[in-house]
């Protein structure tokens, strides 16, 4: 079976009702991204950041995977599929995709403030005073600006062995995630799905549509 690696971003969850980051003049849920998704923002106002992620975690109970998430599961019938997502929602899990790497963490996990490897499943609000086993404050298991991306090496290994790269719903503006496209083997097919011209490159096939509307185009290119 040929191997497809799918790099997804906020755009694949947009049609499930989850806001993207850079579609709305740089504000994310009315916050400057650096205020709520950076180490400095957390140190400056931990309560604001905890509340911000509590709201996003709560939202997970109101949204569902859309046809694009489900299509990636269906692709497993014909291809060996690995998804590398920048998203922290659980929609790929709920679409039952089998091989999934979260580069930027997961909303439904929490971790020790002190030890990034002390991670637990967590589905309710995190309150100041909720402690990890090491006695430090629990914080969202999210990779913030200014922090390392621990899953990057695994992701690079996956991309290096891809026969086809599918990029869905990411502006390719955040590194190191965006650099994954540089690790593909020579001359493999790169298909980019985005209704906007967020990312330009002369060696890719750009399907200028929303994720759910691009499914038939992707199937045609893949010979399905």
Interface residues with ligand APR (CB under 6 A) are: 9-11, 14-15, 20-23, 33, 37, 86, 104, 169-171, 173-174, 193-196, 198, 210-211
| C-alpha–C-alpha distance, residues 45 and 47, integer Å | 6
Residue 195 CB, nearest approach to ligand APR (Å): 6
Question: What is the closest distance, in whole angstroms, from the C-beta atom of residue 33 to ligand APR in the complex?
Answer: 5
Which residues have a Cβ under 8 Å from the Cβ of 70 and sit 6 or more positions away?
95
Nearer to ligand APR, 21 or 122 (CB): 21
Residue 64 annotated in active site: no
Cis link prior to 135 (omega < 30° from 0)? Answer: no
User: Least distance (Å) from ligand APR to the CB of residue 7?
Assistant: 9
Catalytic residue among 92, 102, 104, 141: 104
Instruction: Tell me the C-alpha distance between 206 and 191, whole Å.
Output: 6
Classify burial at 195, counting beta carbons within 10 Å of its beta carbon; exposed 0-12, middle 13-18, buried 19 or more. middle
Nearer Cβ to ligand APR, position 4 or 174? 174
Known catalytic residues are 104
């Amino acid at each position: 079976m040929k191997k497809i690696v799918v790099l997804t971003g906020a755009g694949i969850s947009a049609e499930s009702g989850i806001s993207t980051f850079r579609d709305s003049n740089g504000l994310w849920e009315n916050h400057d991204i650096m205020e709520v998704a950076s180490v400095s923002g957390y140190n400056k106002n931990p309560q604001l950041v905890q509340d911000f992620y509590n709201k996003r975690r709560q939202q997970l109970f109101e949204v569902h995977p859309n046809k694009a998430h489900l299509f990636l599961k269906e692709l497993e019938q014909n291809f060996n599929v690995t998804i590398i997502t920048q998203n922290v929602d659980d929609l790929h899990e709920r679409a039952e995709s089998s091989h999934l790497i979260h580069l930027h963490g997961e909303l439904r996990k929490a971790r020790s403030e002190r030890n990034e490897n002390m991670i637990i499943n967590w589905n309710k609000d995190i309150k100041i005073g909720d402690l990890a086993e090491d006695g430090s404050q629990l914080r969202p298991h999210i990779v913030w600006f200014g922090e390392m991306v621990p899953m990057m090496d695994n992701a690079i290994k996956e991309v290096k062995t891809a026969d086809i790269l599918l990029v869905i719903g990411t502006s390719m503006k955040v590194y190191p995630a965006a650099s994954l496209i540089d690790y593909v083997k020579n001359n493999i097919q790169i298909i980019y799905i985005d209704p906007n011209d967020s990312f330009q490159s002369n060696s890719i096939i750009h399907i200028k549509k929303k994720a759910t509307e691009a499914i038939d185009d992707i199937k045609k290119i893949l010979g399905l």
